[in-house]
């Protein structure tokens, strides 16, 4: 032991005769490699390289062969694990890394590959040998106290039994047989409310294991119904049911498909007529949308989402100008939609359709005030600060026309949108050459008008 400590105990050349204490020390600290690039060169001008410490995988990654160590004293490579725990004498061939080591640098790559895939390196399946796994170690322990197992092990050691239960092939067969006998089953547990005690408590009773042939949701449900009837229980008394890890018990009808009907309609970028659906959803559900945004701002943990939801609910949906503008947009888009459908119908009252664009500001105000009242919003316009133009000394200060907020909204918003809508409709009719269409398809139900 003293001689070992004076030398490098981590060099494999010192591992010929070591005790358990030193072996445990080496295992705890692991292999310590010599990464000195100046390795001795043999007569063939070859030498060991640190590249052998790594295995290149098929995906390009490098895998560290932590078990491979180099002896500087012997100029040879060894398997750290096999060298420490091998109990046999010198071997040749692929097992040189186990005992005597190898310095065949020409064939070192093949020797390393063969060793790391060998059974000696991977595992030990022999009874009463070190590192033979928990299964065989358990049998060794049982054999110390059980005479039957002790006799069985004795026959194995003397070769009296060639195929035995400790062999890996027999073990695999047993596992296969067990898997073939596994049946689908369901555990039935009933919970009952006991009102005879104070306080009231819930009792849980295991009923039985149920053999299941049909693992579908319907099959499991029918099995539960059958057992409840056999127990002479009333199914109408059941107040709830639950299935642990029962992915096949998900609903046959997926209500998630109906979610699309509960969300706001997307804004079309090309089909302008479809925009009425987007505006319609906001107009008739403004209160619900406002409440949903306020709730989202209250429960959301994302600061951006919280801020955006609060701003939309407070500064947009609670603004009377927004409600009025939304109503005007809806009325205009509704008329555009009517015109489009009238042009495709047999009763082409084009003059009536266009007159709908001129219904004015009053009807939109009435409709918007109804929505504002429902949402408990005061139907007034916010007065904006008027920016006065700088006057010259010869200009009259009374030349400016002062408008109310309502009148300003009517002129700058309502009339502008109506003018744009009328211009777009007239342009569309001109492109369609509506006079020729009316002349060709006029009937008793279609009245012809002149547009100037």
**For residue 289, cis peptide bond before it (omega within 30 degrees of 0):** no
Segment 405-409 shows an average pLDDT of 71
% the chain with pLDDT above 70 = 63
> For 153-186, how does the pLDDT look when each residue is reduced to its tens digit (9 = 90+)?
787 777 666 666 666 777 788 888 887 777 778 8
pLDDT band at residue 205 under the 50/70/90 scheme = confident
What's the rounded Cα separation, in Å, for the pair 190 and 242? 10
What's the rounded Cα separation, in Å, for the pair 10 and 8? 5
Model pLDDT, residue 292: 87
- Contact (Cβ atoms closer than 8 angstroms) between residue 318 and residue 377: yes
Q: What is the mean pLDDT of the chain?
A: 72
3 or 325: which leads in pLDDT: 325
- In three-state secondary structure terms, 301 is coil
β partners of residue 54:
64
- Contact (Cβ atoms closer than 8 angstroms) between residue 111 and residue 97: yes
Half-sphere exposure of 158 (CA within 13 A, CB side): 7
> For 217-268, how does the pLDDT look when each residue is reduced to its tens digit (9 = 90+)?
788 888 888 888 888 888 888 887 776 655 665 555 555 555 555 555 555 5
3-state helix, strand, coil in the chain (%, to 5): 50, 10, 40
pTM of structure? 0.30
pLDDT for residue 354 is more than 60:
no
Structure tokens, 276: 């009425």
pLDDT for residue 66 is more than 80:
yes
pLDDT for residue 444 is more than 50:
no
**For residue 199, cis peptide bond before it (omega within 30 degrees of 0):** yes
pLDDT for residue 443 is more than 60:
no
Residue 428's nearest CA partner among 345, 350, 330 is 350
Model pLDDT, residue 361: 62
Most confident of 278-282, 292-296, 425-429: 292-296
**HEC states along 240-272?**
CCCCCCCHHHCCCCCHHHHHHHHCCCCCCCCCH
Buried b vs exposed e over 138-153: b needs ≥16 C-beta within 10 Å? ebbeebeeeeeeeebb
Model pLDDT, residue 251: 57
């Amino acid at each position: 032991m003293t001689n070992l400590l004076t030398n490098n105990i981590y060099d494999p050349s010192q591992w010929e005769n070591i005790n358990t204490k030193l072996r445990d020390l080496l295992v705890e600290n692991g292999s310590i490699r010599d990464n000195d690039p100046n390795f001795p060169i043999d007569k063939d001008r070859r030498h060991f390289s640190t590249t052998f410490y790594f295995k290149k995988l098929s995906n390009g990654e490098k895998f560290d062969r932590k078990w491979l160590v180099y002896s500087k004293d012997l100029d040879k490579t060894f398997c750290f694990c096999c060298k420490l725990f091998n109990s046999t004498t010198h071997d040749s061939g692929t097992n040189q890394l186990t005992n005597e080591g190898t310095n065949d640098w020409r064939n070192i790559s093949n020797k390393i590959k063969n060793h790391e895939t060998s059974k000696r390196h991977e595992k030990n399946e022999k009874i009463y040998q070190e590192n033979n796994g928990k299964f065989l170690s358990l049998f060794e322990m049982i054999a110390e106290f059980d005479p039957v197992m002790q006799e069985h092990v004795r026959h194995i050691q003397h070769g009296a039994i060639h195929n035995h239960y400790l062999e890996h092939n027999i073990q695999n067969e047993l596992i296969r047989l067990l898997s073939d006998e596994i049946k689908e089953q369901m555990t039935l547990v009933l919970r009952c409310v006991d009102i005879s005690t104070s306080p009231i408590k819930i009792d849980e009773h295991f009923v039985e294991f149920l053999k299941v042939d049909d693992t579908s949701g319907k099959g499991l449900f029918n099995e539960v119904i059958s057992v409840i009837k056999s127990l002479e229980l009333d199914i109408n008394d059941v107040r709830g049911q639950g299935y642990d890890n029962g992915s096949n018990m998900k609903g046959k009808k997926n209500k998630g498909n109906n979610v699309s009907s509960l969300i706001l309609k997307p804004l079309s970028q090309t089909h302008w007529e479809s925009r009425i659906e987007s505006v319609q959803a906001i107009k008739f559900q403004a209160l619900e949308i406002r409440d949903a945004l306020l709730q989202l701002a209250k429960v959301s943990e994302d600061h951006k989402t919280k801020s955006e939801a609060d701003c939309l609910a407070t500064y947009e949906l609670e603004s009377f100008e927004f409600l009025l503008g939304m109503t005007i947009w809806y009325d205009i888009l509704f008329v555009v939609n009517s015109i489009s459908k009238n042009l495709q119908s047999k009763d082409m009252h084009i003059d009536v359709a266009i007159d709908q664009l001129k219904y004015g500001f009053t009807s939109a105000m009435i409709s918007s005030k109804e929505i504002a009242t429902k949402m408990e919003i005061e139907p007034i316009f916010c007065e904006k600060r008027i920016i006065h133009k700088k006057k010259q000394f010869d200009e009259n200060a009374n030349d400016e026309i002062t408008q109310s907020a309502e009148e300003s909204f009517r002129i700058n918003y309502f009339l502008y949108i109506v003018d744009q809508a009328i211009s777009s409709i007239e342009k569309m009719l001109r492109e369609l050459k509506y006079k020729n269409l009316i002349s060709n398809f006029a009937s008793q139900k279609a009245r012809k008008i002149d547009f100037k």
